Structure 1
Amino acid sequence: MATPQIKIGILNLMHDKVDTQKRFENVFAHAECPVKLTFLYPQTHYRDRPVPELVQAISRPLDLARLNEFDGFIITGAPIEQIDFSAVTYIDEIHQLIDRLVKLNIPQLYICWGAMAAANYLYGIEKHRLAEKLFGVFPNHIVNHGPLLAGLPDGFLAPHARYAELDHQQIIDHPDLILEATTIDDNLFSFRAPKYQQSFLFAHLEYGREALLKEYRREKNAYPDREYAKPLNYFLDPIHMRGPQFKWQPAQHIYFDNWLQTVANDMQNKQLVKE
């Protein structure tokens, strides 16, 4: 019997949309089961301007009426974590999307800003700015084992790149949330809401080898007069920023394979209910 194809929708909110799509394609390329990725964009982001041709060429507009096409759904990060949620032009569309995913009981993976926005909307978890950007490759401590961390050793490495953080105590105190892992310095790696099949990932595990370097260059090129911290624990030669290392690749494979397995399990359970 052929393995059923797993259909994953990805709302791509990142600035480097082509690179982001390639990263997710690489992440799922080695999956044991066939995976179809569909990339989408929020329509209200382009309410007062034309949708760029590139965006139209590589993705399709988010259509809430078609979400039942997907077996799992990902909302990516976005370089807007320093902006209040209320100031994000497409935040209402994000909220409508989340409501629909919950209603359809589709497994959800929220990444970085996507995780901040979803946790704030669903559970009232507050966001605050960090004193300085968390930027580099750091070991992570497992607080509570869960399905997506299965096979990861304590101290596993992951890339972090963000200017904001969520309130840890609110997460710990919420009855529907389970804190899974943090960095050694107690910054978030992940938590989950098992009742609603929701996973909140704060590290950019989808990043490839060059991604942190590209992020540094993007910020530096945008504001050349500003000083930006270089990503830590990343280069073979940190002084000259040479030799970026892909030290989180093992964690990347394990984490996304585990998430895909939870989606596959959900598909099987729904099929059994139908039968």
Structure 2
Amino acid sequence: MSIYLKKPVRGLNLLEEGSIEYSISSQRPKDSKSIGILNLMPNKYETEAQFIKLFDSMKQSVYLRFIRILNHEFKNSYRSYLENTYETFENIKKEKLDGIIITGAPLEKIAFEEVNYWSELQDIFDFIEGNVKTSFFICWAAQAALYHYYGIRKYTSDKKISGVYKHYKVEEEKILDNLSFPLNCPHSRYSGISRSDLENNHGVKTLLNSQEVGELLLFHENKFFILGHIEYDREVLKSEYFRDLSRGIDAQTPKNYFPMDNIKEEPIYSWRNEGKVLFSNWIKYYL
């Protein structure tokens, strides 16, 4: 089926020409599911491209709406682009969304209340609760949503979790249909969630778990929380690793990512199909 976009985004320029079929539509096509993507990642174009590829070739047509935060001063290179291309959440509220995705952000070491758009994000969380069929929160956004909805706190570490880890099924849920286990998924974070808070939660279920890095996918009342980055392209962990080195950070080589841990080799893209299946199931069963 088709991918529809409200406006052409620059992430399209990062895709191989002709590799993705898409259409631009000012209004939601009748045959599509409307999905908002609140893009909090610093590399806006790369994130756009990742999600467009993720939703390519699915059985259900999707209408992707990229959303921006108002109370944040983005880099100059992004400001005018976001204002002209992305929608605000106030505009989105006027039109029905079937589902919403909120991406991660490099804010793990900052208390939620100290994030300059925390109040705005809380308003978005509150609106989602009763007005959107299903939601998918990724990495930092998953930690923020778990904290907002259930009081599940995060912890931070000086050591970064970076690499591709194996995850195993803990409970049955339709979103896991047709996935192979153990499931590989990249992680790139300095934080995690409090186990004690999770054990005293309000019905939040752990669906996927890793012996090495803990919880991956959690679920409660049509809300999904993934602590890894199943949407990442092959090269993202590599780019982050070399970026950290260039900043003088004593970064460890991402685990289970480069063949034989040789950073000169092309990384192993072992999670590509799993990401497509996971989000395809999300659309099929929950939207």
Length-normalised TM-score, structure 2 = 0.84
Residue in 1 aligned with 2:135? 108
Shift of residue 164 of structure 1?
Answer: 0.2
Q: Which has the higher helix share?
A: 1
Report if the CA contact (8 A) 1:11-1:40 is conserved: yes
Shift of residue 102 of structure 1?
Answer: 0.6
Structure 1: any 5+ residue segments left out of the alignment?
A: 265-275
Q: Structure 1 residues 245, 122: closer, same or farther in 2, change over 3 A?
A: same
**Residues 110-259 of structure 1: matches in 2 within 5 Å?**
110-194=137-221, 197-221=222-246, 223=247, 225-236=248-259, 238-259=261-282
Residue in 1 aligned with 2:26? none
CA RMSD of aligned residues (A): 2.1
Classify the secondary structure of the residue corresponding to 1:188.
Answer: strand
| Partner deviation per Cα, 1:215-245 (whole Å, 9 max, x = no partner) | 2233333x1x221112111112523342111
CA distance in 1, matches of 2:179, 2:160: 26
Q: Structure 1 residues 234, 210: closer, same or farther in 2, change over 3 A?
A: same
| Partner deviation per Cα, 1:124-174 (whole Å, 9 max, x = no partner) | 001001352111011002111212222223311111111100012322332
Residue in 2 aligned with 1:30? 57
Q: Structure 1 residues 132, 255: closer, same or farther in 2, change over 3 A?
A: same
Shift of residue 68 of structure 1?
Answer: 4.1
CA distance in 2, matches of 1:74, 1:16: 16
Shift of residue 64 of structure 1?
Answer: 6.2
| Partner deviation per Cα, 1:30-58 (whole Å, 9 max, x = no partner) | 111111111111101139x9971232344
Residue in 1 aligned with 2:3? none
Counterpart residue identity of residue 147, structure 1: K
Task: Give the ranges of 4+ consecutive aligned residues of structure 1 lying more than 6 Å apart after TM superposition.
Answer: none
| Partner deviation per Cα, 1:40-96 (whole Å, 9 max, x = no partner) | 11101139x997123234422222662642110011000111111011000111100
1:41 aligns with 2:65: no
Counterpart residue identity of residue 267, structure 2: P
Report if the CA contact (8 A) 1:68-1:104 is conserved: no
Q: Structure 1 residues 131, 188: closer, same or farther in 2, change over 3 A?
A: farther
Length-normalised TM-score, structure 1 = 0.87
Identity of aligned residues (%): 27
Shift of residue 191 of structure 1?
Answer: 0.7
Match of 1:91 among 118, 129, 134: 118
Structure 2: any 5+ residue segments left out of the alignment?
A: 1-28
